[in-house]
Amino acid sequence: MHVLLLEDEKKIADFIVAGFEASGFQIHHEADGFRGLNTALIRSFDAIVMDVNLPLMDGFQVLTEIRRKGLYTPVVLLTARTDLADRLKAFELGTDDYLPKPFFIEELIIRVQTVVARKAGNVEKTVQQSGVTLDRFTRMVQWGARSSSLTQREFVLLEYLMLSPGQILSRQQILKHVWNVDFDPGTNVVDVCIQRIRKKFAHTDADHPDVFPLETIRGVGYRLNNA
C-alpha cells in the first residue's frame, strides 16, 4: 500500500514514516499543503494522511481541492483541533476519517487500512463470531445483552482473535500484531489487556453464568472459543 503523508512537524512525520514502513507500507512525505496537493494530483496513492494545520495550504484547503478535482483517494485527517465544528467541516469536505492528536501509530495504521478497504468495498462494518459482534467503526462490542466500548489496543486484540476463531495465538504473536513488538519485553501487557476485555463483560450474578469466550491456553496463549 502506497500512502502520501502531509505533515510539517518533522518529529511527527518521522514517527509516522517509521511506523508505516515497519508495517510494510510505502510512504511519501511532503511538509506543506501546496506541494502535497501537487503530489496528490500527479501521483497515485492508496491513501492520504494529512495534518490540518499545514503551511501554504491547510488540510481543509487541500482536501477541498483534491475532491474538486475528482480525486477520491481515501483521506485520514490528523489534527489537534478536536471541536465538533472542525469535525463536521472535515466530513462535509469529504474526509474518510478524522484522528485527533496525540494518537497511537497502530490506530492510525488500522484506520488507514479500514478506509482503503471500505473504499474498495472489501470490509464489513462488523465482525461477528462466537456470539460477539464487534463494530469496526465505533469500537463497540455487543455480547448478548451487554455492550461496551473498547480502547484502541483492546479493539485490535479482540479483532485479531475474532478473525482467527478457534486458533491459538501466542503472546508473542499478539505482541507483534497489537503492540508492534518483535520481542518479549518481559511484561504482562497481553494478559492485562485480555483481563480488561473480560472484565467489561463479566456477569456479577448467578442468573448469568456464561463466560465471555476469550479462552486462556495455559503456557501457550489465547484463542476465541468458537465452540
77 and 99 in a single domain? The answer is: yes
Residue at a domain's end among 85, 120, 155: 120
**Cell digits for 66?**
483534491
99: pLDDT strictly greater than 60: yes
161 and 79 in a single domain? The answer is: no
* Closest residue by Cα to residue 146 from 157, 132, 136, 135: 132
Contact 39, 64 (CB under 8 A): no
65 and 165 in a single domain? The answer is: no
Q: Please write the tens of the pLDDT for every residue from 146-157.
A: 889 887 778 889
Phi, psi of 119 (to 5 degrees): -65, -35
60: pLDDT strictly greater than 90: yes
pLDDT at residue number 206: 46
Residue at a domain's end among 120, 137, 155: 120
89 and 142 in a single domain? The answer is: no
Contact 43, 71 (CB under 8 A): no
34 and 97 in a single domain? The answer is: yes
Which range has the worst mean pLDDT, 62-66, 92-96, 122-126? 122-126
147 and 173 in a single domain? The answer is: yes
Our count of domains for the chain comes to 2
**Cell digits for 227?**
465452540
157 and 213 in a single domain? The answer is: yes
Residue at a domain's end among 96, 120, 144: 120
13 and 111 in a single domain? The answer is: yes
116 and 8 in a single domain? The answer is: yes
- What is the average pLDDT across 111-138? 81
pTM of the predicted structure, to 2 decimals? 0.57
175 and 195 in a single domain? The answer is: yes
**Is the torsion defined by CA of 167, 141, 110, 113 positive or negative?**
positive
What is the domain range of residue 203? 126-224
25 and 115 in a single domain? The answer is: yes
Sheet holding 2-6, edge to edge: 26-30, 2-6, 47-51, 75-79, 97-100
Here the CATH number for the domain that contains residue 108 is 3.40.50.2300
111 and 162 in a single domain? The answer is: no
Q: Please write the tens of the pLDDT for every residue from 7-26.
A: 999 999 999 999 999 988 99
Q: Where are the alpha helices (DSSP H) in the chain?
A: 10-22, 33-42, 59-68, 84-93, 105-120, 152-162, 171-179, 189-200
Q: Please write the tens of the pLDDT for every residue from 165-217.
A: 888 999 888 888 777 666 666 778 889 999 999 998 876 544 555 688 899 99
